[in-house]
Amino acid sequence: MKIIAPNELFKFSWLLASDRDELVLDRDGPDLQRLPYVMPSEIGEAWIDSLSFADGIVLYRAVHAMEPSPRGQLIPLMDVDGISDEPAFNAQIWLSGLGCHHEYWNGRNQPPIEIVAFPGRDTFRHKQIWQAKVLVEGGVTSEMKSVVVPVSLMRTLLGEDVAEVLLVRLGLSKERQTVVVPMPMYVSAPLREAMSGQFSGAARKLFAQARILDYLAGLLNFVMSTDSAVSTSLPASARKVEELHHHLVNLEGRIPTLIDLAKEFGISARRLNADFAAKYGQSIYCFITEHRLAQAHAILSSDPVPMKTLAVRLGYSHVNHFSAAFKNRFGYPPGSLKRGR
């Protein structure tokens, strides 16, 4: 499959099924466009939403709802060959799950570089040609958001020198075209919100542009606050907090107690909760509750999952407890989403 847009050309080779269709993305189109992945239904369902702007910015959201499989197994989805008219800056964040890219920085005749990212470890690229194999973790629903900004436009928005400092501080260079950097969630928050479902048409694009600018400004402030290039190495306590975050977003069923988590990760309960709140802006319990209710909202908006089954998966002892928590969070009962769908 090919995706053609002004200044960009992407060719997808689906690894789970063959496809010859061609999709044209109109950068001047009125609103969001969706590309379903080609894969057998017994493996899962996935799609990419894209929102394109006339100035060359493209916003992406990918959702991979993979059917149960051995946890930790990587499912190969596609091979990608992409090229643009000029170098572009790409920031990619994972809201849940884990993504792996085997990237060919020097052509497919050379061994690939393996890039692994998950929530709290964001991926940054500075490239004109992108060749990669895309894999995601099986057995979970993963979600990724990404923005592509032409470097010439970024220099106009931030200033020539400042844009160059941003690339250098992130550690991007001709020899290192992709980096994975530990990043506080408050920095990526505007990018998470950019493709909002509360707007459509021109209003959606206006809102998205504002959030993208907020994101670039916040990212710049973060990297400028350090004395040197952002380090991809973390102290042991910070790594434990990131491992805990990854564990929580992929956990199903009963929510473990704070004492259980402290024993599992080898840090006192008080310290673990404090460090987690400092990095992610919420206590462990508030985070996992918010995350699971957001998952429930996304699932009920698109999938015919029985309410009782969903409540068990999310760790509620009774479907009524789940319904009450859902209504308290969103202001309406979960059944209204099923009826609306």
What pTM was computed for the model?
A: 0.67
**H/E element, 88:** strand 74-96
Every domain range in the chain assigned CATH 2.60.120.810:
2-224
258 sits in the region (left: phi over 0; alpha: psi -120 to 50; else beta) called alpha
> Residue 302: is its pLDDT beyond 70?
no
For 48-101, the pLDDT digits (tens) are 999 988 888 999 999 998 887 665 688 898 888 888 889 999 999 998 888 999
Q: Is the dihedral of CA 317, 323, 324, 329 positive or negative?
A: positive
Instruction: For the chain, give the percent of residues with pLDDT over 90.
Output: 22
Greater confidence (197 vs 258) lies with: 258
Q: Write down the CATH number for the domain with range 236-340.
A: 1.10.10.60
Every domain range in the chain assigned CATH 1.10.10.60:
236-340
The confidence score (pLDDT) of residue 1 equals: 45
Q: Is the dihedral of CA 261, 263, 264, 265 positive or negative?
A: positive
For 202-253, the pLDDT digits (tens) are 888 889 999 999 999 999 988 887 644 555 545 666 778 888 888 887 777 7
List C-alpha distances in Å: 28 to 52, 200, 205, 211: 7, 14, 11, 19
Task: Say how far apart CA 182 and CA 230 lie, in whole Å.
Answer: 9
For all residues of the chain together, what is the average pLDDT? 81
- Answer whether 91's CB lies under 8 Å from 191's CB: yes
Q: Side-chain half-sphere of 59: how many Cα atoms within 13 Å? A: 24
The confidence score (pLDDT) of residue 5 equals: 46
Class of domain 2-224: mainly beta
Greater confidence (75 vs 201) lies with: 75
For 99-139, the pLDDT digits (tens) are 999 999 988 898 899 999 988 889 999 999 989 999 998 88
